[in-house]
Structure 1
Amino acid sequence: MVDHQLDRVFQALADATRRELVARLVTGPAAVKELAQPFAMSLPAVMQHLRVLESCGLVASEKAGRVRTYRLEPAGLRLAEQWLGEQRTGWEHRLDRLGGFLTADRQKGNRS
C-alpha cells in the first residue's frame, strides 16, 4: 500500500504545474481562483491538477459556499521525504565505505 501511495505522490510531483501548486500552498491555503491566476490555462485544467494532488494525499480541500480552498497535507510530502532520506542514507554509507577503501588503498600504495 505504501509503495502504491509513494508511486502516486511521485507521479503527481512529476508535473511542473503541480509542483508549482504545491510550492504556492506551502505559504498557506488558497482558493482555486487564486491558485489558477499565474497559469495560462483554464480554471477546469487547474482544478484537474488539484484533484490529482488531492487524490494522492498531497493536498486537501474544503468548500465554503461557492469557494473551494486547498491546503497542503504534510503527511503526503513526509512519505516522499522519508523515502528520499532512506535512499540518501544508503548512498552515504556506500560512499563512506568507498572513501575508506580508497584511503586504505592510497596508504597501502605509499608504503610500497
Structure 2
Amino acid sequence: GLDAAALWLQQTGSSFELVLDQQRQLYKTLGLGSSYSKVMGFDCLLRYSEYGVLNRGYPDVPPRLMEDIYQMGGDFLLDEEGNVILSHPSQTPLDRLSVDHILRATDSVAL
C-alpha cells in the first residue's frame, strides 16, 4: 500500500515515477504471480544465507508492510506512451536481466 511505497522511495532514493497497483491488475497482465516453492527454493535460500556471511543486510521492512513475500518480480520497460518494449517476468527471484540487457532494449526506442 501507500506506506510500503513511501518506505521504498525513502530507502532507495528513487527519482522514478512510482505506480501503485493495489488490485494487482497490471501485475497479473504482465504475467506475474506468487510462488512459495520458487521463493523458498534451494538456490534462493542459499543466496539469502550468503547475505549473513557477506554482512549484506536485508531491506528494513516492518512485518506489517510485508503483504505477500512470495510475489514474483520481473523486469519491464515501457516507452513514454506506455507501450511495453521489454517484458521479462522472472521464473525465480534470482532470474533478473542485466542492466546491459535492459539498456540494449532502449536502443529500439527514439529518445
Q: TM-score when scaled to structure 2? A: 0.24
Q: TM-score when scaled to structure 1? A: 0.24
In terms of Rg, which structure is larger?
Answer: 1
More helix by share: 1
